[in-house]
């Protein structure tokens, strides 16, 4: 029997996917380190979310995501892989997934975080959070790449998702990137001029006639 899994990135065999409340967790084994944990999104129950104070307090009533259909002979392998990957602060739930094309709901397996686990961070001031994401990295890569990829996926797969929190964080991180690039240019203002002068002198030496 096939299994459907709702996941941000599967990394395992599947033969189909369907496009369709996130909160912030910290990650010390993918997008951060134990000394400087990165930030990743996690699903939590709405009843938990309603108890939190958030800078973006207008969460929609539904979660947008991707459901992967796992071929029967790979179900056990994928389940073992996901249990290991999501072991840090998640519990297994089964929930209905409503495909964007209006077809009947699919029973899917999802991993949901609980606020009482040590990985749960909860709400943070948006600019401080953006700066933390901008600085963090881990074995799976830069934390900012994770955020910007998530923002792009939401814009492309679910333009009606209305996830202002993710879009706002991505905007702030892009501004930090631009400011960092501008500062680098200011610290090295003579590089291109020096290189151009050096090249001109070399050209004059080559063109100078020899007697």
More confident residue, 202 or 99: 99
Q: pLDDT by residue (tens digit) across 4-44?
A: 666 554 444 334 443 333 333 334 444 444 556 778 888 88
Q: Is the pLDDT of residue 102 over 60?
A: yes
Q: pLDDT by residue (tens digit) across 114-161?
A: 777 777 777 889 999 999 999 998 887 899 999 999 999 888 877 777
The token pair that represents 75 in the structure block: 């179900």
The token pair that represents 172 in the structure block: 């702030």
What is the value of pTM for the model shown?
Answer: 0.67
The topology under which CATH files domain 3-187 is Hypothetical upf0131 protein ytfp (3.10.490)
Out of 19, 28, 86, 131, the active site residue is: 86
Q: What is residue 144's predicted lDDT score, i.e. its pLDDT?
A: 94
Query: Rounded CA gap, 19 and 98, in Å?
Result: 9
131 catalytic per annotation: no
Q: pLDDT by residue (tens digit) across 45-98?
A: 778 777 777 666 566 667 778 888 888 898 899 888 888 777 667 788 888 888
């Amino acid at each position: 029997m096939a299994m459907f899994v709702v996941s941000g990135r599967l990394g395992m065999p599947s033969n189909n996917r369907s496009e369709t409340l996130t909160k912030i967790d910290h990650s010390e084994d993918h997008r951060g380190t134990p000394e400087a944990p990165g930030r990743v999104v996690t699903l939590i129950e709405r009843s938990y979310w309603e108890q939190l104070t958030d800078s973006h307090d207008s969460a929609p009533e539904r979660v947008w995501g991707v459901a992967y259909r796992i071929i029967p002979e790979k179900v056990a392998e994928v389940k073992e892989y996901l249990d290991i990957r999501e072991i840090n602060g998640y519990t297994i739930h089964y929930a209905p997934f409503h495909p964007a094309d209006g077809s009947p709901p699919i029973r899917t397996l999802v991993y949901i975080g609980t606020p009482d686990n040590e990985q749960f961070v909860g709400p943070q001031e948006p600019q401080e959070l953006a700066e933390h994401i901008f600085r963090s990295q881990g074995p799976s890569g830069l934390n900012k790449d994770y955020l910007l990829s998530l923002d792009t996926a939401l814009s492309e797969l679910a333009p009606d998702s209305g996830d202002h929190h993710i879009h706002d964080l991505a905007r702030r991180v892009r501004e930090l990137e631009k400011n960092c690039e501008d500062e680098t240019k200011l610290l090295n203002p003579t590089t291109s001029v020096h290189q151009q002068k050096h090249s001109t002198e070399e050209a004059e030496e080559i063109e100078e006639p020899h007697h």
